[in-house]
């Protein structure tokens, strides 16, 4: 770990310990993983689309995605058990921190009319989810190489016990949340 990251992590640990009156460094919430999920639906030729989605995820995350399958057939959605319906990537460690840094400092500022992330997207257990409407906000994606604009779900998993701790942790990492107007 670089010296700068060590200082940054110590700053986060100290701020969290002070704010939540935690006695032990191990009680401080940490980032566990980031899961990026892209779903495809209503497409006849799923193999070609899955190739394109996989290519985009590889260029964004630097890691090969896994294909997700349907677990239960639903005739209303015209899906059968075993069909591929998307791709996902789970990032941990350095790749997770690198992706979070690029998301916060490069990708989110490129969103048109961006006013901040919702404070209501926490799940009650300290995890945060956000939806991205188009993959073009990442500079790794070339506009000419995409076949269709697709969105993705980004889930940030933490060890926080509640939403307040998770909100503070992500804010210390620089996550641009909307300001509460009281």
Does any domain span residue 149? yes
Does any domain span residue 79? yes
Under 8 Å between Cβ of 9 and 169: no
- Distance (Å, whole) CA 13 – CA 81: 45
- Distance (Å, whole) CA 105 – CA 110: 9
Q: What is the pTM of this model?
A: 0.88
User: Would you write out the chain's pLDDT as a tens digit for each of its 182 residues?
Assistant: 455 566 567 888 888 899 999 898 888 999 999 999 998 876 666 788 888 889 999 999 999 999 988 888 877 777 778 788 889 999 999 999 999 999 999 998 888 888 889 999 999 898 999 999 988 888 888 887 778 888 899 999 999 999 999 999 999 999 999 886 54
Nearest in space to 154 (alpha carbons), one of 172, 135, 176: 135
- Give the CATH number of the domain where residue 145 resides: 3.30.1440.10
Does any domain span residue 13? no
> Which one-letter DSSP state was computed for residue 77?
G
β-sheet bridge partners, residue 37: 88, 153
Does any domain span residue 4? no
Does any domain span residue 143? yes
pLDDT digits (tens, 9 = 90+) for 157-171: 999 999 999 999 999
Number of domains in the chain: 1
What's the distance, CA 20 to chain centroid?
A: 25
pLDDT digits (tens, 9 = 90+) for 102-137: 999 999 888 888 888 999 999 989 899 999 998 888
Boundaries of domain holding 76? 31-158
Does any domain span residue 137? yes
pLDDT value at position 59?
A: 92
Does any domain span residue 40? yes
pLDDT value at position 26?
A: 87
Does any domain span residue 169? no
DSSP assignment string, 102-170: HIIIIIGGGSTT---B-TT-B-SSS-EEEEES-GGGSTTS-GGG-SS---EEEEEEE--SSHHHHHHHH
């Amino acid at each position: 770990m670089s010296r700068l990251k060590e200082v940054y992590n110590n700053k986060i640990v100290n701020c969290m310990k002070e704010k939540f009156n935690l006695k032990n460094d191990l009680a401080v919430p940490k980032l566990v993983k980031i899961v990026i999920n892209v779903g495809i639906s209503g497409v006849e030729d799923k193999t070609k689309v899955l190739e394109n989605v996989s290519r985009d995820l590889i260029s964004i995350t630097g890691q090969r995605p896994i294909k997700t399958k349907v677990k239960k057939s639903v005739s209303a959605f015209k899906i059968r058990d075993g069909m591929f319906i998307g791709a996902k990537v789970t990032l941990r460690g350095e790749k997770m921190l690198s992706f979070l840094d690029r998301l916060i400092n490069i990708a989110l500022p490129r969103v048109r009319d961006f006013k901040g992330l919702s404070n209501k997207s926490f799940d009650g257990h300290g995890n945060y989810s956000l939806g991205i409407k188009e993959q073009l906000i990442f500079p790794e994606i070339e506009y000419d190489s995409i076949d269709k604009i697709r969105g993705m779900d980004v889930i940030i998993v933490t060890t926080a016990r509640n939403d307040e701790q998770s909100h503070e942790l992500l804010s210390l990492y620089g996550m641009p949340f909307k300001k509460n107007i009281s």
